[in-house]
Copies of this chain bind each other. A is one copy, B any other.
Amino acid sequence: MKPKITHATLHDVAELAGVSHQTVSRVINDSPRVSENTRQRVLEAIQQLNYQPNHTARALATRRSLTLEIVTFGVGYYGPAQIMGGVERAAKARGYRLFFSNLDRLTYADMRETVEDLKRQQVEGVVLIAPVRSAIYEELMKERNNIPVVQLATQKDVTFPSIIIDQQLGSRLATQHLIDTGHSSIAAISGPLHWNDAAARHEGWLDTLQDNHLNPVNWTEGDWSAASGYRAAHELVDHGAKFTALVIANDQMALGAILALRERGLRIPEDVSIVGFDDIPEASFFDPPLTTIRQDFSTLGEQSVEYLVEIIADPQAAAGQRVLTPRLILRKSHR
């Protein structure tokens, strides 16, 4: 009843072509040690049987899976989704397949599970999007059975293989630009501060104010969502602090904040200037078009695979953190 389609194997091909299985193996691996004559014969047999090498068997024999894994925290967010695109592209380009694993919650159980999986799956390397401060990641690093891991969006100056975008710099760019254009009362809406990027952006804002002998007027913490930006902006106004500019840790929150400020009768950029972070594709079409700090997430993803592949080839290559630079994109939400 159950047909159980069985695929042609190396031996089937060998038999049909009248050679040994090893010769077939040589053909599919492009070994020069095979005469043109037999090569053709084998190729024909392969064609005829619609033979496809079995990846599993190959992995078992070679002890190489040609597989990477990406473990993400929150596919829902813009950044991680973009990073994944880059990782996939780079992995495919280098002949690797990609496992995809998502962590919705950063609980011990979830993480535990993921580590156990890693050990089982015969994965050659892992790109870990680890944007949140958590001891769990360190545990992961210890228990991972020497599987190379490149972490993304970690803290700055961490010593294990990782790549970050210099958020502190980005935030300095934003804040300094506002100061340079005459602002001295600059408030902020931060991301959730247990996120590394949020903390770095926040520090950049604080440090820049300090460097310019300005006092931080006021700030609130959001959760990256437009909803939280909306709430935060209302709060800021309620609090009575006067500010003429607002540094907001991502574009979505900026969107929410713009709506809230407008509800309070504040015009942008006449009454308050705004700069966001990320440069999501929609940012140009906010009202007004948003000045923001662009993050090249896609490149981040690609580079992480490159780094990983270097480490796989030579574990000695595993050295420290690489840093990408964000860029200020000027539009119309500031003056």
Contacts and interface: CB of A to CB of B under 8 A. Distances in A.
Interface of A: 5, 7, 50, 52-57, 59-60, 65, 70, 75-76, 81-82, 84-85, 88-89, 92, 97-102, 104, 116-117, 119-122, 145-146, 225-227, 229-230, 252, 255-256, 258-259, 262, 281-282, 284-287, 289
Contacts of A70: 100
Q: How many of these chains are in the complex?
A: 2
Given A60-B57, A75-B81, A282 B146 contact: no
A56 B53 contact: no
A14 to B, nearest CB: 19
Contacts of A98: 99-101
A256 B89 CA distance: 29
Given A70-B100, A102-B85, A226-B285, A56 B54 contact: no
A294 to B, nearest CB: 15
Nearest to A224: B281
Contact of A88 (B59, B101, B117, B227): B101
A56 B56 CA distance: 6
Nearest to A6: B63
7 contacts: A50-B145, A70-B100, A76-B81, A92-B101, A98-B101, A99-B99, A256-B285
